[in-house]
A and B are shown apart, each in its own frame.
Chain A
Amino acid sequence: DTAVSQTPKYLVTQMGNDKSIKCEQNLGHDTMYWYKQDSKKFLKIMFSYNNKELIINETVPNRFSPKSPDKAHLNLHINSLELGDSAVYFCASTDRGLETQYFGPGTRLLVL
C-alpha cells in the first residue's frame, strides 16, 4: 500500500499549457504539503493545507493554485506553464503532533 501517492510521475508539456498534479495520502494525516525541487536539487516549501485549510503559501506565483477537496487529497494546478516551472514536485503529509513528514514519489515536470 502506497502511503503518499502522486500522479502523474512524469509530465512533459509545452509552455503556456495548464496542467495538474494530484496527491493522495492514506495515512489519515491532517496536513499536506507541496514542495518544489529545482534542477540543483534544492527543496523548497510551496503550500501547506491543514484539514482543507491553506496555512502556508510561500512566495509562489499565482499561476500555481493548490486545491484540497478533502484532507486526504491535495492537488496542484499550474496555469500558463513556463520553462522555469520545470522541476520535481513533491507532495508530503503529516499529522500535527507527529512532525515527521512522509513524501510521495515526486512528479517530474518538464516544460518545453
Chain B
Amino acid sequence: AQTVTQSQPEMSVQEAETVTLSCTYDTSESNYYLFWYKQPPSRQMILVIRQEAYKQQNATENRFSVNFQKAAKSFSLKISDSQLGDTAMYFCAFMKHGGDYKLSFGAGTTVTVRA
C-alpha cells in the first residue's frame, strides 16, 4: 500500500510571498502520478497540479510549481506570489499507473495567506 505524508499541518504566509508545502510518499511502483489538490472553505476539491513520475521536468501551473525528487520520493508544492484566495487546505495525493486508479491522500496542510 502506498502512504503519503504531509508533515506540516499548518502554514502561514504573507500575501505576495512564497510558501512551500512538503509531501513525501512511500511506494515500490516505478510508474505513478502525483497530485496536489486544494480544498478552500467552500469544501470543493480543486486540482492544482499533477506530475507524471516518468517525466523529469517539474510541472508548473501559473503561480504553482512542484519540486519532484523521484529518488527521494518527495513532491513539494511551491506557491509563488501568494494571494488571499490561496487560503485553503492542500492535499498531496498518489495514484499508481495501470492499477485501480484510486487516489491515496496525505493528511493535508492548511495554508493561511495573511493580508
Contacts and interface: CB of A to CB of B under 8 A. Distances in A.
Interface residues of A, number: 26
Q: Is the interface of A mostly helix, strand, loop or mixed?
A: strand
B33 interface: yes
A66 interface: no
B29 interface: no
A108 B104 CA distance: 21
Nearest to B43: A106
Interface size class of B (residues with CB under 8 A): 20 to 34
Interface in B76-115: 89, 91, 95, 97, 100-105, 107-108
Contacts of B45: 90, 92, 103, 106
Q: Rank and list the top 5 A-B pairs by shortest CB-CB distance, nearest first.
A: A103-B45, A43-B105, A45-B102, A106-B43, A99-B33
Interface of B: 33, 35, 37, 39, 42-47, 50, 89, 91, 95, 97, 100-105, 107-108
Interface of A: 31, 33, 35, 40-45, 48, 55-56, 58, 88, 90, 92, 94, 96, 99-103, 105-106, 108
Given A58-B102, A100-B47, 15 more contacts: A41-B89, A41-B108, A45-B102, A48-B102, A56-B102, A88-B43, A92-B103, A96-B101, A101-B103, A103-B44, A103-B45, A103-B46, A105-B42, A106-B43, A106-B44
